[in-house]
Structure 1
Amino acid sequence: MKVSYRSDVGKARKNNEDSVGYFKNKAGIVLGIVADGLGGHQGGEVASEMAVSHLGYQFEQTDFYEAQAGLKWLQQVVSAENEVILDKAAQYRDLHGMGTTLVCVLVFADEFVLANIGDSRG
C-alpha cells in the first residue's frame, strides 16, 4: 500500500492545524488518521497532534486482525482520547476550547472500518 497526503492551511487561517498519521499494528493492519484542529479555537493544532500521536501509539501496541475487533477498539480509544483532550483543555488557559475533527480508517485484507467525527469526511 502506498500512502501520501497533502495539507494546506487554507485562506482563512495563518497556521495549519492538520495532523496526519499512518500506523501498523503487530498483525500488519493499517490505521490512517487525519485530524483537523478546530480553527479559530485556541490549541487546535495541539488537539489534532494529540489525537493522531496518542491513537497511533496505542494502535501499534494492538494485535487484532478482524474488522469487528478493530471497530470495538476504535470506539473505545476515540472516546477515551476525547476525554484526554477535554481534560487538557480544562487544565491550561491557553488551550481552553481546543478540539479537533477526526477521520480514521482501519484497513484489513478485504474490508475496512471508517469513522469520522466533526465536519471532516472520510
Structure 2
Amino acid sequence: MRFVIRSDVGKKRSVNEDRAEVYKHSDEVTLAVIADGMGGHNAGDVASSILVEQLADSFKAVVSEPDFRNREFRKEWLHEAVLEINQHIYQSAIENPSCKGMGTTLDATLLYNDYCLICHVGDSRVYLISDGSIEQVTKDHSYVNALVESGEISQEQAEHHPQKNLILKAIGSEKAITPDFIEFPVDEHSVLLLCSDGLSNKLSGNEILTVLEKAENLEAAGDELIRQANDRGGEDNISLIIMSEMSGEVQQDVDR
C-alpha cells in the first residue's frame, strides 16, 4: 500500500487545525486518519492532535494481537477506541476554559489485506476511486446535508448554503457519540482519498477524479489538489491522504 499525505494551512488561516497521518504496520495492515479540529482559541488543533495521537497509540498496542485478524474484533476495537477518545476530549474541554467547545471530525480508515473499514464522524470525507468513477462513501454529518436528505433543498443549493460548514456531530463535542461505520472490499485497482472539507468544499468529486486521472503519480495528484483548492480561495486548512497499490512513492508533506 502506497500513500501520500498533504496538509496545508491554506491562504486565510494562521494555524493548521487539521491532522492527517498514516500508520503502516505491515504490507497487510494500514491505518489512515484525517481529523479537522474546531472550537476555542486554537483548541481545534488540540482536539485533532489528541484524537490522532491516542488512536495511533491504541492501534500500535493492539495491531499485533492474534485477534486483530478477526474482522469483528477490528471493528469493536476501533469503536471502543473512538468512544474513549471522545470522552477524553469532551472532559478536557470541560476542565480547560480555553478549550471550551472544542471538537474534531474523524475519518479513520483501516485497511487489512483487501478489506476496508471506515469510522466516520463529521464532514471530512472518504472517496473511493475505481473503474474510472469516484464515489463518496461517507455521509456528511452536517446541517446542510440533513436539509438535502429531507428534500428541503437541492444538492445545487447546498453548495452555496450560508450554513454549509455547520456540522451536527463531532468527536468531543458531546458526552456520547455514535460514529458511522462503512465496510467494503478493495482491490489492487482501488484508490482511496481521505480529505478535510478544505478540499471537498472547493472541488467536486468529478474534479477530484480528473486530477487523479491526469496526474503522473500520487505525489503530483496530492500537490495539484492542494494547489487547486488554494487557487479557489483557500479559506480553510486543506488536508488529504491518497492511498493506492498502483503507483507513487510513500511521501508526506505537512504544513502545520
User: Structure 2-normalised TM-score?
Assistant: 0.44
Residue 88 in 1 paired to residue 92 in 2? Answer: yes
Query: Can you list the C-alpha shifts for 1:7-58, whole angstroms capped at 9, x where unaligned?
Result: 12234532110112222458x52211111102x5330000000000000011
Residue 107 in 1 paired to residue 105 in 2? Answer: no
SS of the residue 2:9 aligns to: coil
Opposite residue 48 of structure 1, the aligned amino acid is S
Query: Where in structure 1 do 4 or more consecutive aligned residues deviate above 3 Å?
Result: none
1:78 to 82, 96, 112: 82
Aligned length: 121
- Between the aligned partners of 2:107 and 2:122, the Cα distance in structure 1 is 9
Q: Can you give the 5+ residue segments of structure 2 that lack an aligned partner in the other structure?
A: 127-256
Opposite residue 57 of structure 1, the aligned amino acid is D
SS of the residue 1:3 aligns to: strand
Q: CA deviation at 1:65?
A: 2.0
- Give the greater-gyration-radius structure (CA): 2
Percent sequence identity is 36
- Between the aligned partners of 2:7 and 2:48, the Cα distance in structure 1 is 13
Structure 1 segment 24-43 matched on structure 2, within 5 A? 24-25=24-25, 29-38=29-38, 41-42=40-41, 43=43
Q: Structure 1 residues 17 and 53, CA, compared in 2 at 3 Å: closer, same or farther?
A: same
Mapped contact 1:24–1:59 kept (Cα < 8 A): no
Structure with greater strand percent: 2
Residue 14 in 1 paired to residue 14 in 2? Answer: yes
Mapped contact 2:16–2:45 kept (Cα < 8 A): yes
- Between the aligned partners of 2:75 and 2:11, the Cα distance in structure 1 is 35
Q: Which residue of 1 aligns with 2:102?
A: 98
CA RMSD, 1 decimal: 1.9
Residue 68 in 1 paired to residue 67 in 2? Answer: no
User: Structure 1-normalised TM-score?
Assistant: 0.88
